[in-house]
DNA sequence: CCCACTATTGCAAACGTTTGCATTAAGTTC
DNA sequence: GAACTTAATGCAAACGTTTGCAATAGTGGG
């Protein structure tokens, strides 16, 4: 430990000015003479000086921190498994940094019941980005009512009084399903959990197209958790009990699609000849699986930027509204 | 915004005690009568009171925050792509929370050159977990010399004066390679980047076993970036130029293995009949790919716990040392 | 030479906790 | 009942910034 931490007052003394001048100089306040400003900034650099963020936050009543709250359904501790969610977090991180904010990674376990109290009153963050609407909508509502600056990654069609950013899941569902039909699918299967906000919309899109095509009789819904394991198991079980009574799958996520693919391949069901598959998300694995996976791409980069942008707008008191991101079909070998 | 934020003094007034009593009561200080403590804690709960963390940190000179620094090689902004790294972060997050700390997610872009100044002097965190040794070892050294509480996820065999937690990559390399040979591989190929600390050890393990088996002549090394795309491209290129002059691949990571698998499958090279494949990491995809991927499992859960534990030990002044995590071979269809 | 004005700097209060020390009340001992 | 201990609480200072206001110096006009 070379030298003791110096505080602003020490730096000021070194520079031969008052603390207030030093403070203003570091913040590039034009009240201070240009020359003095530069001299002090230089001095700060050579001495590796950094402001005490705690003191600064206390005084300013602002933290320059954005919290990202992973809203898992399960109340138990749980690490995040879906690479897509992690990708979203990673892209939010980038956007946050680009705006000069820091990222506090949190979850329902830490934040407890009273999010407003924990983050805002507790001066841990200036605003919160909630990833995943989950089934904890009540908590989100409460935080929002308490006036917590808040943006949610979810389905923008949801009726809510907070701001939501998300893909056009309904359209995604339609596009995916239409694609299956275009490729000759007659007996489509939806693999996923329609109760969940985003997935519900995808299922609606699915149903919509099916209805239009007069295939309602032949279509099926297989409710499962959003994990590749669940998909693998349930497709296995279905093949054993019903045989191959479908010729196309719209999986609610890529991980689910990959799980299903594995089960099919193990039983020598040919993809895409016997069964067409379309996923959702476009995670890295979709491109590298074999056959590579046709999917609906969600623009996580844009999402991150938008989420942060809207949150910061709220912080300066602007009125912001939900918005929907365009999705796109990425055609690969599985269809 | 229902009510204005109340501060400790307000709560104290409500309870009819002094601020100091309120403070101690909330911290369960036995100086305060049991009964009073409970009464005040109850009051705090009903009023949704939360302490101002900024003030608390300023006073205590502690933040109760641990920073996780993703140490990417590239200096450019970049989101994290490898699901394995994200899994590590997610598991660290869990371990951090379990110890009652919060997690500041950061990267070399935010932290700049002077990590000690930024995190410690800046009172943003009490300690730092660096994920990935990368090629920025100089910065890590500097931070460590400056006395920054620090633990690194990397290869524990690295000569360094800071604490490293990581898998036994050398052993992993040996086990993986031995497994290939046991399965009949005669012309093994290492796919990866030996310059990188962790990967270098895996390669050493590879070479070691090859040497012992007298296969040095037949073995090959293909240097590539650690991405599935790079693997896919380079295997493709190699097949085109050299034909199939190998019968087993030890890929430095699962993502790399999967990229290679894709290229092979597209050219109808049978796995595991024509080429055996072993990966490293055991990401979720390894189990769900087809054929499923034999790999070396790294225990990220344990890693997270150990990293945090060792960091906290440093904070209370204990002497801690690097440690190596056991790895295990997970046999699947690709071998 | 004084006044008004601007440019630059400094003083001191405030942000909301925590904690060493002082204080009070109540019990205990001789 | 005086002296002493113990239990419970309060007072006030300190953590390191930022900023409204006051102060000073320098400039130019009348």
Where do the structural domains in chain A lie, given as residue ranges? 8-51, 65-165+300-323, 169-297
- Could you read off the pLDDT of A161-170 as tens digits, one per residue? 999 999 999 9
- pLDDT at A258 (0 to 100): 94
Quote the CA–CA distance of A315 and A151 in Å, as a whole number: 11
Option in A50, A117, A261 nearest B290 (CB): A261
Quote the CA–CA distance of B36 and B39 in Å, as a whole number: 5
Protein residues with Cβ atoms closer than 7 angstroms to any atom of nucleic acid strand C: A 16-21, 24, 31-33, 36, 55, 58-59, 61; B 5, 7-9, 19-20, 23-24, 26-27, 51-52, 55-56, 58-60
Q: Which residues does chain A have within 8 Å of residue B78's beta carbon, measured at their own beta carbons?
A: 94
Option in A1, A48, A147 nearest B117 (CB): A48
CB atoms within 10 A of CB A110: 21
In this predicted model, which residue has the larger pLDDT, A224 or A78?
A224
Quote the CA–CA distance of A105 and B213 in Å, as a whole number: 48
Q: Which residues does chain B have within 8 Å of residue A234's beta carbon, measured at their own beta carbons?
A: none
Residue A3 pLDDT greater than 80, yes or no: no
Protein residues with Cβ atoms closer than 7 angstroms to any atom of nucleic acid strand D: A 5, 7-9, 19-20, 23-24, 26-27, 51-52, 55-56, 58-60; B 16-21, 24, 31-33, 36, 55, 58-59, 61
- CA distances from residue B267 to A146, A213, A216, A285, B13 in whole angstroms, order as listed: 59, 38, 39, 19, 77
| A32/C2 CA-to-C1' distance in Å | 29
CATH architecture of the region B169-297: 3-Layer(aba) Sandwich (3.40)
Q: B58 and A52 in contact by Cβ < 8 A?
A: yes
CA distance B168 to chain A (A): 23
Tell how many helices (H) and how many strands (E) occur in chain A: 14, 12
- CA distances from residue A143 to A128, A137, A162, A256, A310 in whole angstroms, order as listed: 10, 10, 10, 32, 17
Q: What are phi and psi of A105, to 5 degrees?
A: -90, 120
C-alpha of A265 from chain center: 31
Q: How many CB pairs under 8 A join A and B?
A: 178
Which CA-bearing residue is nearest the C1' of C8? A32
The tokens for B79 are 């989101």
Q: Give me the residue label for tokens 């030093």.
A: A22
- pLDDT at A1 (0 to 100): 47
- Could you read off the pLDDT of A132-148 as tens digits, one per residue? 876 668 889 999 999 99
Quote the CA–CA distance of B288 and B292 in Å, as a whole number: 6
- Could you read off the pLDDT of A50-99 as tens digits, one per residue? 999 999 999 999 999 999 998 876 544 555 678 898 889 999 999 999 99
Option in B54, B83, B110 nearest A86 (CB): B83
| A21/D29 CA-to-C1' distance in Å | 31
Q: A54 and B48 in contact by Cβ < 8 A?
A: no
CB atoms within 10 A of CB A52: 18
How many alpha carbons fall within 13 Å on the CB side of residue B42? Answer: 7
The tokens for B122 are 């800046």
Among B121, B234, B303, B334, most A C-beta atoms within 10 A, so best to mutate, is: B121
Q: Which nucleotides of D are covered by protein (CB under 7 A)?
A: 7-12, 14-20
Angle at A171 between CA A169 and CA A177, to 5 degrees: 100
In 3D space, the residue among B98, B106, B102 whose CA is nearest the CA of residue B301 turns out to be B98
Q: B86 and A91 in contact by Cβ < 8 A?
A: no
Which residue of chain A is at minimal alpha-carbon distance from B110? A97
Which CA-bearing residue is nearest the C1' of C16? B55
Which residue of chain B is at minimal alpha-carbon distance from A148? B1
Q: Which CATH superfamily is domain A65-165+300-323 in?
A: Response regulator (3.40.50.2300)
Quote the CA–CA distance of B219 and A52 in Å, as a whole number: 55
| A30/C5 CA-to-C1' distance in Å | 19
What is chain B's pLDDT, residue by residue, as a tens digit (335 residues)?
A: 446 789 999 999 999 999 999 999 999 999 999 999 999 999 999 999 999 999 999 999 999 999 999 887 654 455 567 889 888 999 999 999 999 999 999 988 888 889 999 999 999 999 999 998 766 688 899 999 999 999 999 999 998 999 999 999 999 999 999 999 999 999 999 999 998 888 999 999 999 999 999 999 999 999 998 888 899 999 999 999 999 999 999 999 999 999 999 999 999 999 999 999 999 999 988 988 888 999 999 999 999 999 999 999 999 999 999 999 999 999 999 99
CA distance A83 to chain B (A): 6
Which residue of chain A is at minimal alpha-carbon distance from B48? A117
Option in A79, A81, A288 nearest B259 (CB): A288
Q: Give me the residue label for tokens 């240009």.
A: A34
Q: B98 and A77 in contact by Cβ < 8 A?
A: yes
- Could you read off the pLDDT of A266-307 as tens digits, one per residue? 999 999 999 999 999 999 889 888 889 999 999 999 999 999
Quote the CA–CA distance of A170 and A156 in Å, as a whole number: 10
Question: Taking the domain B65-166+300-324, which CATH number applies?
Answer: 3.40.50.2300
Query: Does this chain's domain B65-166+300-324 share its CATH topology with B169-297?
Result: yes
Q: B79 and A102 in contact by Cβ < 8 A?
A: no
Q: B97 and A109 in contact by Cβ < 8 A?
A: yes
Q: B81 and A49 in contact by Cβ < 8 A?
A: no
- pLDDT at A113 (0 to 100): 87
- pLDDT at B1 (0 to 100): 47
- pLDDT at B73 (0 to 100): 65
Q: State what percent of residues in chain A have pLDDT above 70.
A: 96
Which residue of chain B is at minimal alpha-carbon distance from A70? B90
| B17/C30 CA-to-C1' distance in Å | 37
Please, which residues have CB within 8 angstroms of residue B239's CB and are 6 or more apart in sequence? B263, B264, B267, B269
């Amino acid at each position: 430990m070379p030298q003791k931490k110096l505080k602003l007052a020490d730096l000021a003394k070194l520079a031969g000015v008052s603390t207030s001048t030093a403070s203003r100089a570091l913040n590039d306040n034009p009240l201070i003479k240009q020359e003095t400003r530069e001299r002090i900034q230089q001095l700060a650099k050579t001495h590796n000086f950094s402001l005490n963020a705690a003191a600064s936050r206390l005084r300013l009543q602002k933290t320059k921190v954005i919290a990202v709250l992973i809203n898992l359904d399960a109340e138990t501790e749980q690490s995040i498994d879906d690479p897509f969610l992690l990708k979203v977090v990673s892209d939010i991180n980038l956007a946050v940094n680009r705006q000069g904010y820091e990222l506090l990674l949190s979850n329902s376990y830490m934040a407890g019941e009273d999010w407003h109290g924990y983050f805002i009153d507790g001066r841990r963050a200036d605003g919160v980005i909630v990833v995943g609407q989950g089934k904890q909508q009540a908590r989100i509502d409460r935080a929002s009512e308490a006036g917590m600056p808040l943006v949610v990654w979810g389905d923008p069609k949801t009726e809510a009084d907070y701001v939501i950013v998300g893909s056009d899941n309904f359209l995604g569902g339609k596009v995916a399903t239409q694609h299956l039909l275009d490729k000759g699918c007659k007996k489509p299967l939806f693999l996923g959990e329609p109760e969940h906000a985003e997935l519900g919309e995808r299922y609606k899109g699915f149903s919509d197209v099916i209805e239009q095509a007069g295939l309602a009789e032949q279509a099926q819904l297989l409710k499962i958790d959003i994990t590749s394991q669940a998909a693998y198991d349930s497709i296995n079980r279905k093949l054993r009990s019903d045989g191959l009574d479908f010729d196309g799958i719209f999986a609610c996520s890529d991980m689910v699609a990959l799980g299903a693919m594995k089960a099919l391949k193990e039983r020598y069901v040919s993809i895409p000849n016997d069964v067409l598959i379309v996923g959702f998300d476009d995670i890295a694995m979709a491109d590298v699986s074999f056959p590579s996976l046709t999917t609906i791409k969600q623009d996580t980069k844009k999402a991150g930027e938008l989420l942060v942008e809207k949150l910061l707008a709220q912080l300066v008191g602007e009125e912001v509204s939900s918005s929907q991101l365009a999705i796109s079909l990425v055609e690969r070998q599985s269809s």
